[in-house]
Amino acid sequence: MKPVFILFALVTLGLLSFGLYQALVAAPTEQTMGEIQRIFYYHVPSAWVAFLCFFANFGASIWYLATKNERSDAVAVAAAEVGVVFNTIVLVTGPLWAKPVWGIWWTWDARLTSTFIMWLIYISYLLLRRFSTADEQTPKLAAALAIFGFVDVPIVYMSIRWWRTQHPSPVIGGGENSGLDPHMLHALLWNFLAFAAYGVLIVWRRYQLERGRQELNKLYRSSAQGAV
């Protein structure tokens, strides 16, 4: 591995450790929900990083269709895989938080349902890439699915603004009664930075692996054509 990758990994480890301290020790205990509210510092940053990954997948997919550049296709698949991981964290931590607070694990409101649909869309994207028999057409088909599937991402983000949901209203930029205690906001932003760095690290490594796979496929096709 390159030294810059190792250095970035060490910085990311430091950020994750500091973020853990901020979430579990430095941030004050929420008066109504108690200690269970600390899931917030992992639930929300995971959602934000998933959005960023899916946006990267969207941009890379557009660029691939425009240029047929394999590097952009590698970015697209790497970002989608990591986005699904963070989206899964959101879907797991949400019910863990909801059960003690709402008394239920799940409800089919606009935010939860649209988030689950988003997860299904990108799982479908990955399954298409894994099992499609269209060979060279697969990246094009996947890119088209990614572009249309991205429509759900802003719907997820705006759902608690457009509709009345069981999910809490926005705590940042949500209006007059929104906002966080400064110490809570501090912990949230540190964890977002840590999770974002971790997301970049995994996407970076997955991109390298995908580029290696692409090069191997080129060699395989060249040798197959030479044998004919």
Top pLDDT among 121 and 221 is at 121
pLDDT the model gives residue 226: 63
Top pLDDT among 55 and 180 is at 55
Q: Which listed CATH number (1.10.760, 3.10.20, 1.20.120, 1.10.287) goes with 3-172+179-223?
A: 1.20.120
**H/E element holding 212?**
helix 182-227
pLDDT the model gives residue 165: 77
pLDDT the model gives residue 173: 64
**H/E element holding 64?**
helix 40-67
| Nearest C-alpha neighbor of 23 from the set 8, 43, 50 | 43
Residue 59 CB partners (closer than 8 Å, separation 6+): none
Q: Give the pLDDT confidence of 201-219 residue by residue, as tens digits.
A: 999 999 999 999 888 888 8
> pTM value?
0.91
Mean pLDDT value across the chain: 91
Q: Give the pLDDT confidence of 134-173 residue by residue, as tens digits.
A: 677 899 999 999 999 999 999 999 988 888 877 777 777 6
Residue 49 CB partners (closer than 8 Å, separation 6+): 83, 86, 192, 195, 196, 198, 199
Read off the pLDDT of each residue in 218-227 and give the average, rounded to a whole number: 72
Domain ranges of the chain: 3-172+179-223
